[in-house]
Amino acid sequence: MIDLYTWQTPNGEKPVLMLEECGLDYRLRMIDISAGEQKTPDFLAINPNGKIPALVDDEGGQGHTVFESGAILVYLAEKTGKFLPAAGPARHETLQWTFFQVGGTGPMLGQWHHFDAAAPERIPYAVERYRKESLRLLGVLDDRLKDREWLAGDYSIADIINFGWVRSGLSGLKDAGARDLSALMAWTERVGSRPAVKRAIEKLDVAKRDKSG
């Protein structure tokens, strides 16, 4: 059985989407990051970086642990043989758009949101810097999707990992130019209409309500 330690954030939902798409059995272990549960000794024993998500796969009694959302998606893809080509150019193409999110849209949109809405002091330079870079990265994805259905060949971990942050960015930056990214918006609708994605989001909604209770 797989135990997934997560919360309802763009990073936290990625492995839930993947687990649902793969049809794997798992337990959601909700870690309330607003209450600091990611910094408790029990969780730090799973992920010493003190961040969600993290996964423990007890299949075969091994208790294999994986943290970092990109690593989790690659692990699940290799475990199931789904959503990541096994070798060659198609695999590399999928991985490059996967890690485009890990090193690009996630960090930049996260910083924009922090400086725009959460920082104790508003710093216009920081807000503008991260807003512009976030829009640029969303534009790269929009250009990529103008002549294709998915980011890398067939539907893959590249689409799964980008979905949550793109959805957040399109919403938060709609008045700053994101509403013009029509190809990216259409892609978000395609991903969001998948039954596994709907199940994942609903399960996270319910689990967070139950946890907050």
Find out whether the peptide bond into 195 is cis, omega within 30 degrees of 0.
Answer: no
103: left (phi over 0), alpha (psi -120 to 50) or beta: alpha
Question: In the structure, what pLDDT confidence band is assigned to residue 177 with cuts at 50, 70 and 90?
Answer: confident
Both 65 and 8 in one domain: the answer is: yes
For tokens 């969303």, what's the residue?
A: 138
Model confidence at 175, pLDDT cuts 50, 70, 90, reads confident
State the CATH number of the domain containing residue 10.
3.40.30.10
Helix (H, G, I), strand (E, B) or coil at 213: coil
Shared-domain flag, residues 72 and 103: no
Could you tell me where the DSSP H helices lie in the chain?
Answer: 10-22, 41-44, 69-80, 88-100, 106-113, 124-144, 157-172, 182-192, 195-212
C-beta of residue 76 within 8 angstroms of C-beta of residue 85: no
pLDDT of 50: 97
Helix (H) or strand (E) holding 28: strand 26-30
- Average the pLDDT over each of 26-40, 54-68, 79-93, 180-194 and give the range with the smallest value: 54-68
Q: How far is CA 84 from the centre of its chain?
A: 16
Q: Residues 39, 6: one domain?
A: yes
Q: Given pLDDT bands bounded at 50, 70 and 90, which one contains residue 46?
A: very high
How wide is the angle at C-alpha 123 spanned by C-alphas 112 and 34, nearest 5°? 50
* pLDDT of res. 62: 75
Same domain (yes/no): 7, 42 = yes
pLDDT at 191: 98
Same domain flag for 159 and 116: yes
Q: Domain range spanning residue 8?
A: 2-83+196-212
Instruction: State the Cα–Cα distance between residues 146 and 132, nearest whole angstrom.
Output: 21
Mean pLDDT of 57-67: 86
If asked whether residues 169 and 102 sit together in one domain, one would say yes
The owner of tokens 């990109």 is: 70
Q: State yes or no: pLDDT of 60 exceeds 80.
A: no
Q: pLDDT tens digits, residue range 144-165?
A: 999 999 999 999 999 999 999 9
pLDDT, tens digit, 9 for 90 and up, residues 96-136? 999 999 999 999 999 999 999 999 999 999 999 999 999 99
CA distances from 9 to 6, 123, 148, 170, 206 (A): 8, 24, 27, 15, 14
Structure tokens at 189: 């609708």
The answer on 169 and 103 residing in a single domain is: yes
Q: Which two tokens stand for residue 139?
A: 């534009």
* pLDDT of amino acid 139: 97
Mean pLDDT for 10-29 is 97
What was the pLDDT predicted at 211?
84
Domain count, the chain: 2
Give, for 26, the enclosing helix (H) or strand (E).
strand 26-30
* pLDDT at residue 213 tops 80: no
Answer yes or no: do 186 and 109 share one domain. yes
**pLDDT of 212:** 79
* 68 and 96 belong to one structural domain: no
State the CATH number of the domain containing residue 103: 1.20.1050.10
